[in-house]
Structure 1
Amino acid sequence: MPSKYENETPGYTMTTVMEEAARCLLCHDAPCSLACPAHTDPAKFIRSVRFRNIKGAAETIRENNALGAICARVCPTEKYCELACSRSGIDVPIDIGGIQRYVTDFEHQTNMHILKAGRSNGRKIAIIGSGPAGLQSAVTLLEKGYTVDVFEQAEKPGGYLTYGIPEYRLPTSIVDFEIKRIVDMGATVHLNTKIGVDITMAELKASHDAVIVAIGASEGKILPMFEGNPIVESAISFLARAKENRGNIEIPNDAVVIGGGDVAMDVVTTLKKLGVAHVTDAVYEEFAEFKASKKELAGSQREGVTILDGYVPENVDGHTVTFKHRHMNSRLTIDADKVILAVGQEVNAEKLGIHIEHGEVPTAGYKTQDSKVFVTGDIAQGDKTVVYAVQKGKEVADEIDGILGGHEND
């Protein structure tokens, strides 16, 4: 079976995007815009599309979302803007993500340059981590006139955008496009640079007016019963291998995935697109309490994934895993060539001087006990989606600007 790993679903054409935009009711109160965590303002950009003002639509998106092309593809819109869409009371909500993808693709194809750096204010900010929150905070600070240094321990910037989300959902070319525009604004990205090894926090604080820690949960959890088992791999590791090799990896004949969030859906769908014959997903939650996006769940089911809801692993012996149902008197035993655990991620904040509990800073907001150090992204409290990372990136940048008053040369 040929791999479908790199096959992104085709987007709208000019004709079809106009048809979809024409369904918009142009609500005066625009509940879709109020429901967007990043304040991307779907009502305004859809209105622009209806009048064939695609450049204006792109400007509206970029005003509040530096990662608009990425969010168009990976945002769980059914939980936010589309859930609030007034059209859903008539038939189905407007495909806001699809329209946003059309606009940002047009922006890319016509080489628009919307994001602009502000006049220098003489202040310098260091950002640790180049995931979505770090990238958005870099843009917001650059627009305000700050000099920005981004420090990334990996070989490529982007964090989970680069090393996690599968190619069929988020093409590498889109991530590269978004990051290049941020570099073109003036951000300096230092790759293969680990804080505490290549440069210390003390050195960063001495050379910058503030430091933003925007690290993600980059290490996959392994349940104790699976430790040391050679056929077991974390979802984070598997998705990174698939993405780095553009799907050209050795695949098993059958695989069991444990977990029921969006990461698990990415894993099971990737396995099927790579040609794995039998993929079974054992999920702690029953369908009524599923955590995964409905869109991603439906996509996995279309690919032919078998989902066992309400089952938890009870025992493992080499290739054989026994599952027990949470509520029924039922057990299942499965022999698999590969077991992939999508049971959560962990944060490695070693040598950063930041107190982390359960993957987050235990206090709300973005400040830390150190007046020069701020946090954002996954380690700040709140939702862990990309669109919320955009919101957090903007908010931490605004907070720093309010403290530093970065307009002394205006």
Structure 2
Amino acid sequence: MPAKRVKKTPMLERDAKLRASDFIEVNQGYSIAHATFEAERCLRCQDPLCVAGCPVHIPIPEFIHEIAAGNMAKAAKILRSANPLPAVCGRVCPQEDQCEQICHMAARFKPVGIGYLERFVADWERSHAKSEGPKKPTRSQRIAVIGGGPAGLVCAGDLARLGYPVTIFEGLHAPGGVLRYGIPEFRLPNEILDWEIDLLRDIGVEIVCNVVVGKTIQLDDLFDKMGYSAVFIGTGAGLPKFLGIPGENLNGVYSANEFLTRINLMQAYNFPETDTPLYVGKRVAVIGAGNTAMDAIRSALRVGAEEGMSIYRRSEKEMTARVEEYHHALEEGVKFHWLTNPVEILGNDEGRVTGVKCVRMELGQQDESGRARPLPIEGSEFVIPLDNIVLSLGNSPNPLLVNSTPGLEKNKHGCLVMEEDKPQTSRKWVYAGGDAVTGAATVILAAGAGKDAAAAIHKARVFIMAA
């Protein structure tokens, strides 16, 4: 069956109106006024808990104070000195669970809108950007970064600022990793990601695409044949998990990874102009209720689905999606089947999905995650008619690199094993961070890991030179 062509929907029209490139120009007047008003709510605490709660340790009171003073250029400089990807993190970082959660204002009032202010300053910077031209490295030790996702980009950016020649080796044909293929365009426009990446190129970061380390070249080649002094692994967690139930091999079943990659990176929405079809029927369900699940089902509605739903074995209280992403999904008509667990995917004689058999659940005692364990209710099976199912059950690291590199240790979950209190692997001069170490987590945690690794690499190189 041919893929459906994209039809113009109210959501697509709304997304077009809200593109970040239009935000500054259309809303310049009241946006600055609102940003200044919000910035003035910051107490500039002597003990800024918000900074400790930020994985990349942005000096939050300092950049917010400059907004309140009307000095947007200085605010942008402070922000970017700590975080090479402020326009990205301002959009996708869960500030409400980190810096804003422990803001002193939150004790009696709403916390300062740190995330919105970060996004505003980054967008202001983009609309007032002045290129200073490419900068040349000042150090001789070359550093290789494997993976062009958030961990790799931040690590490369910090090392380049320290004067190191840095090369990112990216397996796909465009850098960005999960920022490009895993987060929809309506939430993180590619033009913003490309702008951030171009700024990294301006400070000397070299990006080489279509190179899969562990297949195209080996990790040891980076040291032995190419002369790099240290390597950072930021390959993420791109291996999807499955339910292990009958019917998962039917046509119309996708992992969220494949579904979003086909839409975002391979332009499946534009078939047949592009040669990667994506069949989306009238009724689509995502299994899961995290941020990726919300991205997947909202994307499905934008590429032709008439009805979208989320099937989740726990209750609304236990869902892991951000509150704002959940609200956006509700606004767009997504239905939620709480305390519902799939036990079999049903199909027709042509091998295509027709529905999913589910069982009702009830919550028991807490499990190792700290959430109530869902237990099936006997005799409660029922069927939901569907055309597509997207499995959003989490991801684990791809084993290709670790399996092809002698001496690179991993744990039972496939994650790289690190030295205690150090972002260094079991191999000398090989560092790592992000989802390749922790398993699937957030963009900002990956960015923080990249930043920590850059500092560790620099400290080790300086120590060697001084010895």
Decide: shared fold, TM above 0.5: yes
Answer yes or no: is the 8 Å Cα contact 2:136–2:203 preserved in 1.
no
Once the 2 structures are TM-superposed, how far is the Cα of residue 271 of structure 1 from its aligned partner?
2.1
Residue 295 to residue 366, structure 1, CA distance change in 2 (3 Å) = same
1:311-362 deviations in whole A, cap 9, x for unaligned? 2111222122111122155333111011110011132131442333314224
Say whether 1:388 aligns with 2:408: no
Structure 1: gaps of 5 or more residues? none
Question: Bigger shift: 306-315 or 82-91?
Answer: 82-91
Structure 2: gaps of 5 or more residues? 1-6, 271-277, 348-353, 363-376
**How many residues are matched?**
409
- Whole-angstrom distance in 2 between the partners of 1:76 and 1:112: 30
Once the 2 structures are TM-superposed, how far is the Cα of residue 52 of structure 1 from its aligned partner?
0.5
Aligned residue type for 1:269? R
Of 192, 201, 205, 1:174 maps to 192
1:308 corresponds to which residue? 337
Of 34, 48, 54, 1:30 maps to 48
Aligned identity (percent) is 31
Of 321, 325, 334, 2:360 maps to 325
Say whether 1:208 aligns with 2:228: yes
Question: Bigger shift: 224-233 or 328-337?
Answer: 328-337
SS of residue in 1 equivalent to 2:359? strand
1:7-65 deviations in whole A, cap 9, x for unaligned? 44775622222232233333332332232111112221111101001011111111110
Of 270, 285, 292, 2:321 maps to 292
Once the 2 structures are TM-superposed, how far is the Cα of residue 382 of structure 1 from its aligned partner?
7.6
Answer yes or no: is the 8 Å Cα contact 1:213–1:375 preserved in 2.
yes
- Whole-angstrom distance in 2 between the partners of 1:332 and 1:54: 57
- Whole-angstrom distance in 2 between the partners of 1:398 and 1:118: 20
Say whether 1:111 aligns with 2:132: no
Say whether 1:58 aligns with 2:99: no
2:461 corresponds to which residue? 404
2:434 corresponds to which residue? 377
| Structure 1 residues 240-251: aligned runs within 5 Å | 240-244=261-265, 245=267, 247-248=269-270, 251=280
Say whether 1:194 aligns with 2:212: yes
- Whole-angstrom distance in 1 between the partners of 2:238 and 2:132: 31
Answer yes or no: is the 8 Å Cα contact 2:252–2:279 preserved in 1.
no
Say whether 1:259 aligns with 2:288: yes
Answer yes or no: is the 8 Å Cα contact 1:260–1:291 preserved in 2.
yes
- Whole-angstrom distance in 1 between the partners of 2:444 and 2:328: 21
Answer yes or no: is the 8 Å Cα contact 2:144–2:169 preserved in 1.
yes
Compare relative contact order (CA 8 Å, sep 6+) and give the higher one, 1 or 2: 1
Residue 118 to residue 384, structure 1, CA distance change in 2 (3 Å) = farther
Once the 2 structures are TM-superposed, how far is the Cα of residue 90 of structure 1 from its aligned partner?
3.4
Aligned residue type for 2:397? V
- Whole-angstrom distance in 1 between the partners of 2:131 and 2:453: 25
1:233-281 deviations in whole A, cap 9, x for unaligned? 1101111122232854653211011012111111122223445221111
Once the 2 structures are TM-superposed, how far is the Cα of residue 118 of structure 1 from its aligned partner?
7.8
1:102 corresponds to which residue? 120
- Whole-angstrom distance in 1 between the partners of 2:190 and 2:143: 27
Question: Bigger shift: 356-365 or 340-349?
Answer: 356-365
SS of residue in 1 equivalent to 2:357? strand
Alignment root-mean-square deviation, CA? 2.4
1:48 corresponds to which residue? 66
| Structure 1 residues 113-132: aligned runs within 5 Å | 120-132=138-150
Of 78, 97, 103, 2:96 maps to 78
2:409 corresponds to which residue? 355
Answer yes or no: is the 8 Å Cα contact 1:125–1:147 preserved in 2.
yes
Aligned residue type for 2:202? D
Residue 119 to residue 242, structure 1, CA distance change in 2 (3 Å) = closer
2:371 corresponds to which residue? none
Question: Bigger shift: 171-180 or 356-365?
Answer: 356-365
Residue 388 to residue 113, structure 1, CA distance change in 2 (3 Å) = farther
Once the 2 structures are TM-superposed, how far is the Cα of residue 407 of structure 1 from its aligned partner?
9.0
Once the 2 structures are TM-superposed, how far is the Cα of residue 381 of structure 1 from its aligned partner?
3.2
TM-score, scaled to structure 1? 0.92
